[in-house]
Structure 1
């Protein structure tokens, strides 16, 4: 069973390679823009790279696709300029270090240096100057690229505003239909002639039979990889009809499995064939643009239809992510199928708009058709009657559908008034927002349920995940909250990206913003780089992981070593952990780019405040280090601190945890263990001594009592023979004689048990030997010869009663 996930991952990797190879082959056929010898660092001609972009930006015929291409080119150049600047900075730093190693040239009147040293200094100076000049050129190019990016964004925003507020002919105007149909009719002949022209223009293509053979091979390999993978997914993560109450996370996983099963094979076949055709030069120019648009429409239709079946689960209602009743579910599936077919038909209808000579009247009609299609799609999915059967916990979805339905009417009014761009923008934004919010809600429910299952460990699959994550017990509430917060942040960022794309922000713009955050945003003299922050987090996590791995390995190794004290083991492991954490933090700070000398200056400036405000914390921290180094107390020691007594369970940075005998945890600041007196029963070893006091009667036979008590000590198996046990006559007390029994034991933790055993044995031995034990306390009166006293009192009572008897007589 362990090989099946590996087989799935290998199949997925091979499939990705299969899809990427055609694009790579296509890129390999393009001429290279420049070459350099291995190890050489040649500065880029930035004027030649940026001038074409500047000319394209001034072209009044630029459209959204053109702006997207410019953004992508500028992002690529920005990455290249940043990399080149950093590389030349490194070269300049290394060269300067070599010059500093040579030292300053000899002054006038000093002996001349060797010619080789002079030549090396000259070459290094030239190299340093060249590196510094190239660094400045790269920084200047970065400034120009940023300015061009801002200019592209401003121009795209102005064009978007013009398109949004542009008002064409109303659908009620006959000229709208007449001009639109005339343009489409005039362009149809040109569109119909495109396939023949495309087939005739075979320059740069591979032969048709070779391309067809490649397509067949790619499709066959894709089928051989996908079919067993889909079966494995369906068998392990698909819908189980016998399970009538699946958890939200299980239903979500099953929905993704159904989606992959319904869409993966056709999508892979389509895009693999497209990649082969593109790589062999069959999809160029206008034909390539039309085919790409049709491929996108077919892919979107397949995904929409597969997503509807995966979400609604028509054959297994218990596995549905959205619990609709059967009539509403069937109605929504039919509408989804109709919308999917409409997407493909719309792509065919929009194809003439790709022709360069397509006029404004025809474009207005195409935009109106797109807006009408989006309006009908929104109307089909936001119909409140479809969602009225949902239970009360799905009320937000019903409210969302009503809101979209109302805003969709606004889009209809804008379309009827001739604002086709605004209508299409509003309809597309509503549809994308609904899909983004729905996906966010469903995935969030599944993630929350998955975290709960991971914490509670209800079944074997989650148990395996927990063991792989190193979770041995129930996950703490804090860990659940932190993981849930992290998941919410990631999902919320993805939701924002989906909403941004839905409301007109292009993917290229999003990528540009992400790259800008990744490479740094300058605020005054400070540059905040998301890339450096993420790298620092990764370095910190890796450092902490390596530290925990090493400390765990050291702990395991020391546990198997005989003669290693547990306290010594804990000190070594804790010290290694602290050092590893410190190194990880220093490495993370270094990756961020913070100057440690500046941090030292800031720390010095804040030292006074730290001295007063954090005095106790620093004191406890230093005390914790002293405890780890000097080890006056160790983990596992039996200590007495004031009135608190127990075992040391953990020595932390700030405090030490002591577990008392009633199993209560006492948290003691480390400074108290250093500044106060601490009695440690097991500091050097576990040897100890017991002291039992016993009172005997004054009438007891002391020699016999001594023998009995000493015999009780020597016969106990835990009393050591060396030093020898003792019976000590302590003192005379009021009414009793005080004796003390002393014996040494090998494990002081058994002191109470041994003392209890000895008391039982002493009591039994003294009773059997007839040695008198005192009764009562020191104020108790003991009377001897009670029989004689009784006789005397009886005679006295008889003498008193005799005269009364004689008188009566």
Structure 2
């Protein structure tokens, strides 16, 4: 019975195994697939998905889509796809490097006629070749997808350019039928607008009254809050101080800039809050939301342009004006700008209403036709204004005309807009009018920003700003430091102006936000210069990492020096060597991590290293020699910071040892920089090498009438009495010589600190002088006899000189031995022959 059960069980297992044969094959394939490296498997999956997506995008591009927004979205997807292909190639590089390393381990295949390899080696070589072929195939596919995506992207760019040009150059015939159709369509549009707004008001008032009141109440609270915050915090930035009759240029720039930006931001915040609250309470419909959004955009643009014009022209406060306009000219230009802004805002709002209501395009054309003609006439009128201040500088007097080029530009723009509009090119004329206002406003803000940055950079100006005043009160920096901070602040302002201003201008000239994002992404992540790819983000990350590691190194140095080594009572020179070595090691590690974080391939630096080696061989020998010598000095420490050394004609204290040179401070407080190679190759005397023990010698002379033994005893007592003189070894006094006018002695004392040598010598000399004076021992000074010889002097002259000297003998009779000396040899003067160059008397 047991055997029967066993046979049945075996048959069941055999049947089950036969049924699972396909599954076993699939499992075997999975195992084979799982043998692939994860990077290869992931790359193959991503590549297959990207190829499928590329086919879909290609079909969408080839469908001749005319929607610009759709084209922009397709372009963004294609760029993302190309970036993914680049990432796939980067992910396969480590696998390929590993295969190359394994191939290097296997070595080259045996030459012809050589013994055959082992079967295992042959199999391993074939497997590596297969893996390399697979990776090369994946890389080729990724490159093909990237090339195709880039070509499609270029096609989209060309199509968008053509679409933009067609939109601007589209011509609409201007005739009576156009105005008849526009009048009929406008009447229908007004009825539709009244019906839509009326139905919405009736519905909300009937069914959403509570929600409407709540949203209105909260909107009023929001507006009140923005107004209070604005008057409390923003007012001091935008209000012109009436007491300041002569504000500086920087103050005028600051007020003009913030008086344009902050009120516009406040108005935008208020409108956004109202729309958000009404949407949250489900009060708005989609069409009403679009209408309110268009109205908000028109009001925000109107406020911005008006505030910029007021900030620059200051029509009512000429002392805050930024440009040299007369009062009358500034007011006229300001009012003309307001008129153009109101017309443009009305045209924009009416165009949006027509688009929302689905009105015929003819209504928008007629509205833009009227608006552009009016704006063109205003520009022509502005060219006839005379706003410029005369040579006398009186802003209240009648002004002069514009500069010639400005007047011509205004006239051509105005007349050109009128001609284009009447010729049917209303779209192009409208585009010009919008750019004159919007782009002009942005350029004005950029100008104010740049001028503010340059004004902050001027010496002494940053300290006058609010930020500068706070920094001065808190940190009390020097004037030079404040100017340096002002220079950095000015550069930051310039960079911010470019970062904000350029995208705004691009948006006005047909670019989309996605285009700008793509440009920024490419600029930050991938800049192609020839065959070199540079990533600004990687470089920035590497730089930040390098600076961070250097700061950590400095903090670690300070902690180690002030905590660990200071408590261990370590020698200052040893502490300096350890601190310096750690600093250099930290900088090297920080540079290595910074380069790796920046994404720079170190293997590509081999050529640079070769060129550097060649440069070292020709011109950098001394630098490398000093560098290596500095490392030797830090390691061997023949001298250290604080030691008193002497090398050549230089003598002083070692202040700092770097890898290139050593700084020695002389006794005159002069810093001498000595290259390290000279200290390694030359002779250096170090008074503090093993210890600070030193000797001081004092020379002294005594008169010949002094007792030498007494002098020796006195000098020894004086030496032993000094507190800094060591007793072991004891001081030594020697009677060294018989001098010309004195008995010469020397006192040799030993000191624990050789640096106190000068002070000890001074004390010993003072003590010796006082003791010798008290003991009556003379310290003689050198004496010498001086004899004068008169050559070739007649006897009569000598007698006259003798008589003359006798007449004045009361003063210097003891020294009048000239005549006697002359007559000492038989009363006859010596008649020696004169030497060369000496004349006879």
User: Does TM, normalized by the shorter one, top 0.5?
Assistant: yes
Q: Partners of 1:138 and 1:687 in 2: how far apart? A: 76
The aligned residue for residue 412 of structure 2 is 410
**Residues 718 and 182 of structure 1: is their aligned pair in 2 closer, same or farther, counting only changes over 3 Å?**
farther
Distance in 2, matches of 1:285 and 1:126, equals 60
Aligned length: 723
Which stretch shifts more, 665-674 or 236-245?
236-245
Residue 643 of structure 1: how far off its partner (Å): 2.1
In the TM superposition, what is the alpha-carbon distance from 1:471 to its structure 2 partner?
Answer: 7.6
Aligned twin of 1:345: 346
1:7 aligns to what? none
SS in 1 for 2:651: strand
Assess if the C-alpha contact under 8 Å between 1:71 and 1:509 holds in 2.
yes
Deviation per CA, 1:223-275, whole angstroms, max 9, x where unpaired? Answer: 65884586245569976666666665565555555456534443212112334
Deviations 1:79-138 (A, max 9, x none): 47746864896599689989999x99xx9988xxxxxxxxxxx9xx99999999998877
Write out per-residue CA displacement over residues 425-448 of structure 1, whole angstroms, 9 at most, x where no aligned residue: 444444455444433343234334
1:4-43 correspondence to structure 2 within 5 Å: 43=46
| CA-CA distance at 1:153 after TM superposition | 1.6
SS in structure 2 opposite 1:738? Answer: strand
Task: Check whether the contact 2:452–2:490 (CA below 8 A) recurs between aligned residues.
Answer: no
The alpha-carbon distance between structure 1 residues 440 and 586, as it changes in their structure 2 partners (threshold 3 A), is same
Aligned to 2:297: 296
Are the structure 2 counterparts of residues 661 and 167 from structure 1 closer, same or farther at C-alpha, using a change threshold of 3 Å?
Answer: farther
Distance across 2 between alignment mates of 1:640 and 1:460: 54
Change in 2 beyond 3 A, CA 1:513/1:741: same
Distance 1:182 1:610 in 2: 86
User: Is the 1:429–1:502 contact (alpha carbons within 8 Å) kept by the matching residues of 2?
Assistant: yes
SS of the aligned residue for 1:299 comes to helix
Which consecutive residues of structure 1, in runs of 5 or more, have no partner in the other structure?
1-39, 111-121, 782-789, 801-809
Q: What is the distance in 2 between the residues matched to 1:215 and 1:99?
A: 72
Gaps of 5+ in 2: 1-41, 107-116, 121-126, 788-812, 824-841
- Alpha-carbon spacing, 1:703–1:575, altered in 2? closer, same or farther (3 Å): same
Greater radius of gyration (CA): 2
Q: 1:618 & 1:554 partners in 2: Cα distance?
A: 29
For residues 275-319 of structure 1, the C-alpha deviation after alignment (integer angstroms, 9 at most, x for no partner) is 455678877866555443332222222233444555567887766
1:149 aligns with 2:153: yes
* SS of aligned partner of 1:723: coil
Contact 1:639 1:679 survives alignment (8 Å): yes
Per the alignment, do residues 241 and 413 of structure 1 end up closer, same or farther by CA in structure 2, a change over 3 Å counting? closer
Of 629, 650, 671, 2:677 maps to 671
8 Å Cα contact 2:453/2:491 also seen in 1:
no
Instruction: Please list, as runs of the form range in 1=range in 2, the aligned pairs for 1:62-461 lying within 5 A after superposition.
Output: 62=66, 66-68=67-69, 70-72=71-73, 74-75=75-76, 78-79=79-80, 82=83, 86=87, 90=91, 142-169=146-173, 177-178=179-180, 180-181=182-183, 183-185=185-187, 187-195=189-197, 213=214, 220=221, 227-228=228-229, 231-232=232-233, 234=235, 258-259=259-260, 262-276=263-277, 289-308=290-309, 334=335, 337-338=338-339, 341-354=342-355, 361-369=362-370, 371-372=372-373, 375=376, 385-386=386-387, 388=389, 403-418=405-420, 419-432=425-438, 434-451=440-457
Greater RCO (CA < 8 Å, at least 6 residues apart) = 1
SS at match of 1:417: helix
In structure 2, the residue corresponding to 1:512 is in which secondary structure? helix
State the Cα distance separating 1:752 from its structure 2 match.
3.0
Equivalent position of 1:733 in the other structure: 739
CA distance in 2, matches of 1:292, 1:127: 59
CA shift, 1:771, in A, is: 1.2
CA–CA distance in structure 2, aligned partners of residues 697 and 433 of structure 1:
101
Shift in alpha-carbon separation, 1:605–1:61, aligned structure 2, 3 A: closer
Give CA-to-partner distance per residue, 1:393-452, whole Å, 9 cap, x none: x9xxx9998645532322223223324444444444444554444333432343344455
Aligned residue in 2 for 1:743: 749
Q: Structure 1: how far apart are the matches of 2:416 and 2:701? A: 107
8 Å CA contact 2:449, 2:494 repeated in 1: no
Question: Residues of 2 paired with 1:299 and 1:511: CA distance?
Answer: 24
- Tell me how far apart the structure 1 counterparts of residues 438 and 684 of structure 2 sit (CA, whole Å): 68
Question: Which of residues 696, 702, 706 is equivalent to 2:702?
Answer: 696
Aligned position for 2:649: 643
Contact 2:725–2:751 (8 Å) recurs in 1: yes
Partner in structure 1 of residue 11 of structure 2: none
CA RMSD between the two structures:
5.4
Question: How do 1:675-690 residues align onto structure 2 when only pairs under 5 Å count?
Answer: 675-690=681-696
Contact 1:313 1:319 in 2 (8 A): yes
Distance in 2 of aligned mates of 1:679 and 1:233? 70
Query: Partners in 2 of 1:624 and 1:471 — Cα distance?
Result: 36
CA distance in 1, matches of 2:325, 2:101: 76
Looking at structure 1, the residues matched to 763 and 462 of structure 2 have their Cα atoms a distance apart, in angstroms, of 45
8 A contact 1:532–1:591 mirrored in 2: yes
Could you tell me how far apart the structure 2 residues matched to 1:694 and 1:546 are? 59
- For residues 548 and 515 of structure 2, the distance between their equivalents in structure 1, rounded to whole angstroms, comes to 32
Assess if the C-alpha contact under 8 Å between 2:192 and 2:357 holds in 1: no
What's the CA shift for 1:537?
3.0
Give the whole-Å Cα distance in 1 for the aligned partners of 2:282 and 2:152: 32
1: CA distance, partners of 2:289 / 2:136? 45
Does the 8 A contact of 2:449 with 2:493 survive in 1? no
SS at match of 2:734: strand
TM-score by length of 2: 0.69
Q: Whole-Å Cα distance in 1 between the matches of residues 415 and 749 of structure 2?
A: 101
The Cα of 1:194 is off from its aligned counterpart by: 4.7
- Tell me which of 614, 622, 630 is aligned to 1:624: 630
Q: Is the 8 A contact 2:700 2:745 kept in 1?
A: yes
Residues in 1 aligned to 2:483 and 2:633: alpha-carbon distance in whole angstroms = 31
Structure-2 separation of matches of 1:720 and 1:361: 112
Tell me, yes or no, if the aligned pair for 1:168 and 1:420 is still in contact at 8 Å.
Answer: yes
Relative to 1, partners in 2 of residues 1:316 and 1:355: Cα closer, same or farther, differing over 3 Å? closer
User: Aligned in 2, Cα 1:560/1:585: closer, same or farther, shift over 3 Å?
Assistant: same
User: Comparing 554-563 with 287-296, which one deviates more in the overlay?
Assistant: 554-563
2:540 equivalent to 1:534:
yes
Pairing 1:545-624 to 2, within 5 Å after superposition: 545-557=551-563, 561=567, 563-604=569-610, 606-624=612-630
Q: State whether residues 88 and 131 of structure 1, in contact with CA within 8 Å, keep that contact through their aligned partners in structure 2.
A: no
- The answer to which of 213-222 and 751-760 deviates more is 213-222
Distance in 1 between residues matched to 2:436 and 2:573, nearest whole Å: 65
Question: Which residue of the other structure, out of 541, 549, 553, is the alignment partner of 1:543?
Answer: 549
Cα–Cα, structure 1 residues 538 and 313, in superposed 2: closer, same or farther, change >3 Å? farther
SS of the residue aligned with 1:516? helix
Indicate if the aligned counterparts of 1:687 and 1:746 stay in contact, CA closer than 8 A. yes
Distance 2:460 2:566 in 1: 32
**Per-residue deviation, 1:747:** 4.1
Give the CA deviation at 1:729.
Answer: 2.6
Measured after TM superposition, the shift of residue 603 of structure 1 is 0.9
- Give distance in 2, aligned partners of 1:678 and 1:239: 70
State the TM-score, normalized to the length of structure 1. Answer: 0.72
Q: Distance in 2 between matches of 1:330 and 1:607?
A: 70
Please tell me whether residue 770 in structure 1 is matched to residue 761 in structure 2.
no
Q: CA separation of 1:663/1:130 partners in 2, compared to 1, >3 Å: closer, same or farther? A: same
Give 3-state SS (helix, strand or coil) of 2:706's partner.
Answer: coil
> Secondary structure of 2:553's match?
helix
